[in-house]
Amino acid sequence: MSKAGGCCFRIGYFLYTRTRIGYWYHQKELKKAREKLNGADHSTTSVTEFKDLSILPIPMLLDNYCYLIQDKQTNNVILVDPGDPDRVLKVLKETNIKPDAILITHKHWDHSGGNAKLKSVFPTIRIYGGAMDHIPEVTHPVADGDVIQFGGLKLKVIFTPGHTVGHVVYVLDGSSYGAPDSLFSGDHLFLSGCGRMFEGNASTMLRSLDKIANLKADTLVWPGHEYAEDDLEFTCDLEPENDTAQDKYEWTKRKREVKDATCPSTIHEEKSYNPFLRTGEETILRNLGILASPLSPLNITDDVRSKALAEVRDRKDRFKYKL
Ligand SMILES: [Zn+2]
């Protein structure tokens, strides 16, 4: 969706999120994406495996990812954000898999638009989503701290408002598989990016981002969109002295040249280059002109960081990308 702000945007956004017009718009977007990509996927993905755990990103629409999480010993299967039900059904048919549950990060149709069709195909499927987010077809509303378990698959819900008022993310406990945890971050956190603040202000978003920053450093980050190349182009412009960001940008360009997916990254990596997680860093604050150098850590309050976050968001929305 286009930049937040303005009366027309607010009316359009209300119609998109709260009426059937949104579903109709989503169907048009699905059709447009299939035509634009000529039926192909936007990215090539591969399965990540740890003992009995497998995680498969399924590309859909122009840049969305759904995730298929499977415990291969108990055969429990969970889908995260299956916005294109036909694309998911194709994978399920090829692999002869029947899902137990759908986890939805937020109400936007590119994430939740597959719920009705998948429920009609799998009538007993459980659909989880944030209780405050008006997600279609949810059977099990969730709140911060809830735990969802199917066999060995155990996921904790973290409430992350900002992009939408009821956005949640899910953290898969990797311990029983000898794996790192996995964060399914929806439109809250992307590789070097962050979702637009459609339904929250910068201080709300900052609190939600701080929750993510406190996850274990080796947590794998599985975002809702393939935005890495654009996000890192902006990041390198904002913080040109950040060599880690530059290295990740070069790596990402090589991956995207051949349409390879860039997920997952890790929380440790994100904290080293993602400007939305770096609003307390001196280089970012100096480059934004928020505070004069040298900075004292005592000056970097949450108010200062909120102001920095709003400024990063504004600059990113106005940034002129090369392509
Ligand atoms: Zn969204």
Is residue 281 over pLDDT 70? yes
**Helix 228-238 and helix 302-318: axis angle, to 10°?**
120
The pLDDT confidence band at residue 299, using thresholds 50, 70 and 90, is: confident
CA angle 223, 225, 227 (to 5 degrees): 105
pLDDT band, very low/low/confident/very high, at 1 (cuts 50, 70, 90): very low
Q: Cα–Cα distances in Å, from 41 out to 60, 70, 87, 98, 117?
A: 7, 22, 10, 22, 21
The pLDDT assigned to 7 comes to: 87
Query: pLDDT at position 291, please?
Result: 76
Instruction: Say what the pLDDT of residue 191 is.
Output: 98
Q: What's the pLDDT at 294?
A: 64
pLDDT at 301 over 80: yes
Residue found by looking up tokens 């929750």 in the block: 211
Q: What percent of the chain has pLDDT over 70?
A: 96
Which pLDDT score is estimated for 300? Answer: 86
Model confidence over 64-102: pLDDT tens digits?
Answer: 999 999 999 999 999 999 999 999 999 999 989 999 999
What is residue 20's predicted lDDT score, i.e. its pLDDT?
Answer: 86
Which residue numbers are catalytic? 106, 108, 110-111, 163, 187, 225
Phi, psi (rounded to 5 degrees) for 165 = -70, -25
In the chain, what are the domains?
7-277 (3.60.15.10)
C-alpha of residue 195 to centroid of ligand 1, in Å: 7
Distance 307 CA to ligand 1 centre (A): 23
What's the 108 CA to ligand 1 centre distance in angstroms?
5
Per-residue confidence band for 199, with pLDDT thresholds at 50, 70 and 90: very high
Task: Compute the distance from residue 49 Cα to the ligand 1 centre, in Å.
Answer: 28
Distance 296 CA to ligand 1 centre (A): 36
Using one digit for the tens of pLDDT, what is the confidence trace for 93-134?
998 999 999 999 999 999 999 999 999 999 999 999 999 999
Residue 202 has pLDDT above 70, yes or no: yes
How far is ligand 1, taken at its centre, from the CA of residue 163, in Å? Answer: 7
Ligand 1 center from residue 282 Cα (angstroms): 30
What integer pLDDT is reported at residue 2 of this predicted model? 41
pLDDT, averaged across the chain: 94
Write the pLDDT tens digit of every residue in 218-256: 999 999 999 999 999 999 999 999 999 999 999 999 999
Burial class of residue 169, CB neighbours in 10 A (0-12, 13-18, 19+): buried
Q: Which residue has the tokens 């609190």?
A: 207
